[in-house]
């Protein structure tokens, strides 16, 4: 999947990491609805990620889909299918990042805390340094929070080999969800390409995640 536009964005990112962002805000009225660079980005909602700046995207260039973790959720798949089939994008970029909050809890822990389990409340309070307040009720949705696999760690912990591995697992899981989806073609004349990255919030740099590779295991 070499020679994609992502290589240009990697070059823009090197510029960004050295202190010069290339995004220029523009009034969008005269741009076509189709993203001009034919790119769709899935990225975490983290407040420290300026997606347009760190990739050097301009107004009208790309669809940017964001959620907690940059997870390829059902809704992200929905967006990507619409982005490709109706709005002509053909390149997908996934971005996870260091110090992600999704490394600091598990789905079961958060659900138990929200439902009122005192031990879960205490653990979540310790992990986030915020008094976690249970709601004391069950709920049918969301069906999953998609917290990252692996042993949880304190919120905003600096990067190390273990948490980078956990981030890589989830990027690959997202790539796999896209590459194996029957409505997102990855071969033939209408193919989309997919590349995954980890953004380091401390130095502003993107690092590519190899694919295929380990995706973690249950538990």
Binding-site ranges for Zn ion (CB under 5 A): 44, 46, 100
Nearest distance in Å: CB 213, Zn ion? 20
Nearest distance in Å: CB 113, Zn ion? 19
Nearest distance in Å: CB 101, Zn ion? 5
Nearest distance in Å: CB 47, Zn ion? 9
- 71 backbone dihedrals φ, ψ, rounded to 5°: -80, 140
> Which of 4/199 has CB closer to Zn ion?
199
> Which of 38/96 has CB closer to Zn ion?
96
Nearest distance in Å: CB 97, Zn ion? 6
CB 149 within 8 A of CB 106: no
> Which of 95/192 has CB closer to Zn ion?
95
> Which of 44/54 has CB closer to Zn ion?
44
Residue identified by tokens 């290589």 is 7
Nearest distance in Å: CB 179, Zn ion? 22
> Which of 44/209 has CB closer to Zn ion?
44
> Which of 100/109 has CB closer to Zn ion?
100
């Amino acid at each position: 999947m070499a020679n994609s536009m992502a290589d240009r964005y990697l070059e823009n990112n090197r510029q960004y990491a050295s202190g010069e962002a290339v995004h220029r805000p523009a009034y969008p009225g005269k741009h076509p609805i189709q993203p001009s660079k034919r790119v769709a980005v899935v990225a975490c909602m983290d407040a420290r990620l300026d997606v347009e700046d760190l990739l050097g995207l301009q107004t009208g260039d790309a669809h940017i889909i964001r959620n907690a973790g940059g997870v390829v959720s059902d809704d992200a798949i929905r967006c990507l299918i619409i982005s490709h089939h109706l709005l002509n994008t053909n390149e997908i970029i996934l971005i996870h990042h260091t110090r992600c909050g999704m490394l600091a809890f598990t789905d079961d822990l958060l659900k138990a805390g929200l439902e009122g389990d005192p031990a879960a409340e205490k653990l979540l309070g310790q992990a986030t340094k915020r008094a976690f307040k249970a709601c004391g009720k069950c709920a049918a949705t969301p069906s999953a929070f998609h917290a990252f696999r692996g042993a949880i760690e304190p919120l905003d912990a600096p990067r190390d080999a273990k948490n980078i591995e956990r981030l890589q697992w989830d990027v690959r899981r997202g790539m796999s969800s896209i590459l194996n989806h029957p409505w997102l073609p990855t071969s033939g004349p209408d193919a989309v390409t997919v590349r995954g990255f980890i953004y380091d919030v401390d130095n502003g740099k993107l690092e590519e995640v190899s694919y295929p590779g380990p995706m973690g295991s249950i538990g």
